[in-house]
């Protein structure tokens, strides 16, 4: 009976979310409803709920999660500073004689802004507003233009310092300790944000490189779809001017990421440096004002409140789910699959990919990963490899028609004459590239685990 209740809990959560109810309150409300039904039917022990105050206190005192609002502030401030606009114009002007040059500029600037902001929706919308009208005006195929912008905007999932990776690191660290305790190791190791950042660097650079190679190949194959910009009226831009524009975001990325990887600063300390650095950059380009600061603080507060409310709701949901024995049900299901850990990993990745159509990465990170993470890691899966694979898998899901979040973000800022079908066609090659990369990382896990082993030798 308890097993059926845990299954019903998951189905009720899914239906409520698809009906459009707020995620945080849905997780908590449905969880409490099923807990009440379980108490009445004798299938749920209310003692499980006594752990909720401790969990909320743990969230409040979690040093790693304090980095989330600071990274959000940094990203929103950089978005408002309009550095991406100036950088894209300068880089596009330098590459105007290269077929596909504007598309490559979009990918490179998108990667830089993704690394600086870490907010997927903001990056997609910003790049769409800045670059899409220019790409269409220069004769780019609408499918190529929209697909490139969507793919570039989602790089914030995998390129550090990413908010996704910060939250994944915290959840995976707890799951890893739980897995070790289940295996009889009562001095469990942890994984840090820095280790996950290091693990994501090589795949992130590989993905950017694969995007650029695809655009170069497409420009050679179909030059009419990505024409070179040879207008004489374009103003010349020197390498010096480009370096000056790029220096600020690059220094900010190096300062934040380098201090974490080198162990000079904790993620929270590095995020605070990033927040102050973003304000200084905005001040340097004349975009910092009291009104801007007020807007940035308000938006940061709203996003951060959403994140932590979802985390609290997810904590309540997971307590009720465990109270019904749902975690044991999942463990038995995954460990009982033919093919062992390989089949279990494929099934988890497929389920997460499908959930990415209806849930944001925050919900998946806080709800699904704590359930399946301990099981997979108890089966021998490397936690850093698992974290990067999950981030890249969700990034692929957010690009996939017809429900990918990035497609909705871009559709909202697209001109009316660009059909939705063009966006769908444009992202398909990038989805294939990401699936190829996922396969490469599955075949050669060292692409993920090598750098963390070098930076953080055991």
- CA atoms within 13 A of residue 306's CA, in its CB half-sphere: 13
- Report d(CA 307, CA 166) in Å as an integer: 12
| Residue 366: band (very low, low, confident or very high) from pLDDT cuts 50, 70, 90 | confident
* pLDDT recorded at residue 431: 93
| Residue 161: band (very low, low, confident or very high) from pLDDT cuts 50, 70, 90 | confident
Is the model's pLDDT at 232 over the cut of 50?
no
Best CA proximity match to 226, nearest among 127, 104, 141, 110? 141
| Residue 233: band (very low, low, confident or very high) from pLDDT cuts 50, 70, 90 | very low
| Residue 177: band (very low, low, confident or very high) from pLDDT cuts 50, 70, 90 | confident
Tell me the domain boundaries of the chain: 2-455
Is the model's pLDDT at 130 over the cut of 70?
yes
* pLDDT recorded at residue 238: 61
**pLDDT per position as a tens digit, 250-288:** 788 788 888 888 888 888 888 888 889 889 888 887 788
Residue 113 near residue 187, CB atoms below 8 Å: no
Is the model's pLDDT at 381 over the cut of 70?
yes
* pLDDT recorded at residue 363: 76
Q: How would DSSP label each residue in 388-437?
A: HHHHHHHHHHHHSTTT-HHHHHHHTTS-TTS-HHHHHHHHHHHHHHHHHH
Q: Return mean pLDDT, the chain.
A: 83
Is the model's pLDDT at 369 over the cut of 60?
yes
Full-model pTM:
0.84
* pLDDT recorded at residue 338: 84
**pLDDT per position as a tens digit, 181-225:** 877 777 788 888 889 999 999 999 999 999 999 999 999 888 888
């Amino acid at each position: 009976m308890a097993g059926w209740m845990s299954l019903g809990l998951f189905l009720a959560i899914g239906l409520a979310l698809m009906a459009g109810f707020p995620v945080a309150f849905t997780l908590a409300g449905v969880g409490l409803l099923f807990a009440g039904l379980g108490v009445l039917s004798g299938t749920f022990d209310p003692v499980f709920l006594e752990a909720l105050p401790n969990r909320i206190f743990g969230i409040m005192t979690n040093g790693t999660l304090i980095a989330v609002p600071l990274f959000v502030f940094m990203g929103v401030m950089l978005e408002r500073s309009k550095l991406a606009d100036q950088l894209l114009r300068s880089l596009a002007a330098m590459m105007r004689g290269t077929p596909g040059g504007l598309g490559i500029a979009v990918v490179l600037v998108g990667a830089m802004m993704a690394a600086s902001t870490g907010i997927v929706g903001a990056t997609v919308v910003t790049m769409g507003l800045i670059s899409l009208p220019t790409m269409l005006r220069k004769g780019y195929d609408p499918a190529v233009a929209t697909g490139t912008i969507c793919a570039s905007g989602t790089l914030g999932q995998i390129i550090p310092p990413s908010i996704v990776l910060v939250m994944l690191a915290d959840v995976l660290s707890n799951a890893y300790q739980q897995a070790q305790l289940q295996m009889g190791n009562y001095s469990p190791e942890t994984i840090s944000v820095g280790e996950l950042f290091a693990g994501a660097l090589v795949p992130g650079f590989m993905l950017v490189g694969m995007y650029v190679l695809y655009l170069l190949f497409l420009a050679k194959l179909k030059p009419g779809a990505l024409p070179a910009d040879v207008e004489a009226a374009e103003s010349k831009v020197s390498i010096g001017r480009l370096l000056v524009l790029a220096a600020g975001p690059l220094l900010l990325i190096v300062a934040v990421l380098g201090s974490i990887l080198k162990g000079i600063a904790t993620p929270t300390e590095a995020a605070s440096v990033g927040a102050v650095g973003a304000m200084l950059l905005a001040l340097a380009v004349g975009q910092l004002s009291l009104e801007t600061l007020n807007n940035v603080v308000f938006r940061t507060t709203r996003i951060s409140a959403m994140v932590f409310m979802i985390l609290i709701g997810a904590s309540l949901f997971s307590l009720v789910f465990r109270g019904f024995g749902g975690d044991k049900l999942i463990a038995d299901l995954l460990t009982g699959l033919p093919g062992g850990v390989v089949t279990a990993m494929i099934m988890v990745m497929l389920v997460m990919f499908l959930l990415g159509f209806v849930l944001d990465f925050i919900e998946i990170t806080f709800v699904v990963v704590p359930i399946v993470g301990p099981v997979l890691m108890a089966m021998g899966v490397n936690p850093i490899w698992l974290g990067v694979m999950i981030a890249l898998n969700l990034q692929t899901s957010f690009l996939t028609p017809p429900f990918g979040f990035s497609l909705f973000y871009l559709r909202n800022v697209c001109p009316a004459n660009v059909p939705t079908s063009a966006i769908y066609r444009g992202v398909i090659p990038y989805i294939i590239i990401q699936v190829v990369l996922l396969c490469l990382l599955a075949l050669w896990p060292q692409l993920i685990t090598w750098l963390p082993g070098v930076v953080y030798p055991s």
